[in-house]
Structure 1
Amino acid sequence: MTKLAIALTEFYADWEVALLMAEGRSSFGLDFTVASPGARPVKSMGGIRVVPEVAVERLDPQDHAGLVVCGGEIWQTDAAPDFGSTIRAFAEAGKLVAGICAGTLALARAGVLDEVTHTSNEAALLATSPAYRGQAFYRDQPAAVSDRMIITAPGTAPITFTAEIFRALGRGSREMEEYLALFGREHGAN
């Protein structure tokens, strides 16, 4: 069974990985390891309390197909954890590395966005990281971007974020495209 590591922090944005985890498990044969800094329990922005299985720092790329960093309020504060070594270990092992919303800031800080096409909530968010060198590869767009197993998305794009992860894991299909299109229909109604 394909397993993804999901990195959560205190006040993580629960909606950003909910579809990925629910549909990944029920429809696409994926399993998930939920991790947090120090394996400490975390509470989402919506108040959902999660007790992680492992510390982010102890995740082994050999045990997972990829790492997904969820966004949340902490990433733009001094309390933001440093996932850099874990993110780099996954990238160097050729595994999928994905970040959504302010979780993309963790990827920028780790240096994995410096030479791949990517997006985020806005370019200014990534520019707050002194380590970020990927400005030339930034794309200002409302949907997720996938380039060489690095997937990024603004927080308003959990559907295309989920789709790009499924595709990168070889789970893309006509049925998946139709299913995900159902979730996006509301945006075409305006």
Structure 2
Amino acid sequence: MARIAVALQADFADWEPALLMAAARYYLGCDVVTASPDGQPVVSMGGLKVTPDIGFAEIDPKRFDALVIPGGYAWEKGEAFDFTELARDFHAKGKVVAGICAAASALAATGILDDVAHTGNSLASHRKYPGYQGAEHYRDQPRAVCDKGVVTAPGSAPDTFAMEVLKALDLWTPDAQAEISAFAAEHR
């Protein structure tokens, strides 16, 4: 079964990976592993204190099928981890790389969005990163986008973010669809 690394840091947006994590672990039997920069507990924007399983140094694409990065306030505070090396390594090895909200813009800084369709909170937030060259592939839409194993979403789209990550992992089964679709029903 798929093994998913969820990279959490202080002030992460707890609602953004929650549905994906619950569906993958509980309904699909995936191994969902949480990580923090140093393996120490982190507190989300909502005050949820998480004791991670591992530190970021232990996230290796040889051991995981996906790297999931939720957004959060760390980017606005200038305290966010630089995911460039990790994201590029996962992408180069054909693994799923997923970023939502501010993390989608952080992926813009890595260069992996330069040649894939993608979205995020706004094109302007991606353009804050000087190395970003993917504006022609940006889709201004409220739903997540998946292209070539790269999943991006605005912070307001945790439902479709979960869907697209599961699809990218080849886990979009009838059970997954039924569970996730139930949570997204209000948006129809």
- Using structure 1 for the length normalisation, give the TM-score: 0.94
Q: Distance in 1 between matches of 2:85 and 2:57?
A: 8
For residues 125-175 of structure 1, the C-alpha deviation after alignment (integer angstroms, 9 at most, x for no partner) is 111111111111100001000000000001111111101111111111334
In the TM superposition, what are the counterparts of 1:73-84 in structure 2 within 5 Å? 73-84=73-84
- Distance in 2, matches of 1:46 and 1:25, equals 22
The one-letter code sitting in structure 2 at the alignment partner of 1:20 is: L
Where 1:68 maps in the other structure, the secondary structure is strand
Give the letter for the 1:186 counterpart. E
CA distance in 2 between partners of 1:185 and 1:45 (Å):
26
**Could you tell me which amino acid in structure 1 is paired with residue 114 of structure 2?**
D
- State the Cα deviation string for residues 67-96 of structure 1 (Å, max 9, x = none): 001110112332121111111111111100
Q: Which residue of 1 aligns with 2:171?
A: 171
- Identity level (%): 44
**Pairwise CA distance, 1:28:** 0.9
Q: 1:177 to 1:20 in 2, by over 3 A?
A: same
Aligned partners of 2:164 and 2:82: how far apart in 1?
25
Superposed CA RMSD = 1.2
Alignment of 1:42-61 (within 5 A): 42-61=42-61
Q: Secondary structure at the match of 1:61?
A: coil
Q: 2:112 aligned with 1:134, yes or no?
A: no
More divergent stretch after superposition (77-86 vs 18-27)? 77-86
SS class of match (2:26): helix
What letter matches 2:40 in structure 1? R
Q: How does 1:89-100 map to 2 (within 5 A)?
A: 89-100=89-100
- Rounded to whole Å, the distance in 2 between the matches of 1:126 and 1:73 is 16
Equivalent-residue separation in structure 1 for 2:153 and 2:102 (angstroms): 9
Distance 1:174 1:25 in 2: 16
Alignment check: 8 A CA contact 1:3 1:33 kept: yes
How many matched pairs? 188
Whether the 8 Å contact between 1:16 and 1:70 is mirrored in structure 2 is yes
The structure richer in helix per residue is 1
- Alignment partner, residue 103 of structure 1: 103
Amino acid at match of 2:160: T
